[in-house]
Amino acid sequence: MAFVAATLAAVTGFGGAALLLPVLVIAYGVREAIPILTVAQLVGNGSRVWFNRHSIDLPVVKWFALGGVPAALLGGFLFAVAPLRVLTRALGAFLILLVVWRHLRRTPPRMPLRGFALLGAGSSFLSALLGSVGPLMAPFFLAYGLVKGAYIGTEALTTVIMHVTKLVAYQQASVLTAHAWWAGAALAPAMIAGSYVGKRIVDRLPERAFIVIIELTLLAAGILFLWRG
């Protein structure tokens, strides 16, 4: 399942966590599953950074980290006591509306570079509570003009920064156990292999097909969040 999740994430930039998280919840429960997922996602995103390293937009990463690091710390400390059901459903509805909105507008507005600081703050805070919010981030990276390797690599590097910060907060809040570290690390080979296979697929996708896949995955994630909430 980790291999399939990593391959999906390497093609779309997200979706892997939504696929892997239910399996981890069944095996470990919610409170331990999210820290384990964070460790596994750190490896998966790190491998996507490496495979797409020549296409990364570093100014986007810088502005994202500016807002993302403090928000991830705050969200990580709140994780142990936060009610998640309403937040999950609201996120699902938001994702579906984003796709509809993209098609109602004839010319989608370009995402300003400094807007990634706000995106980093909001998505990092929610990620610390929900495990991953890659679908929430995707439309904004696309609106900035990033596609294929540039989108995958840049989004992956911002997510690496977010996950490292979350792990620091989880550790301080005593929800990141030694078992969670080992369980997440055990998934590393499958995550790296999936990232490699996904990179090979992305290199062969036409740009328009790539965007269609992203939007279909956004709709699926929105429905999943509404149902799971």
Measured CA distances, 21 to 94, 181, 184, 222 (Å)? 20, 16, 12, 15
pTM: 0.75
Q: How far apart are CA 228 and CA 85, in angstroms?
A: 8
Contact in structure between 42 and 167 (CB atoms under 8 Å): yes
The tokens for 200 are 């090979």
Each residue's pLDDT, cut to its tens digit, for the chain (229 residues) gives: 899 888 888 887 776 777 787 788 778 876 788 789 889 989 988 998 999 999 999 999 999 999 999 998 888 887 766 666 666 676 677 667 767 766 776 555 678 999 999 999 998 888 887 666 767 788 889 889 888 889 989 999 998 998 898 888 888 877 788 888 999 999 999 999 998 998 888 778 776 777 777 777 778 777 877 776 6
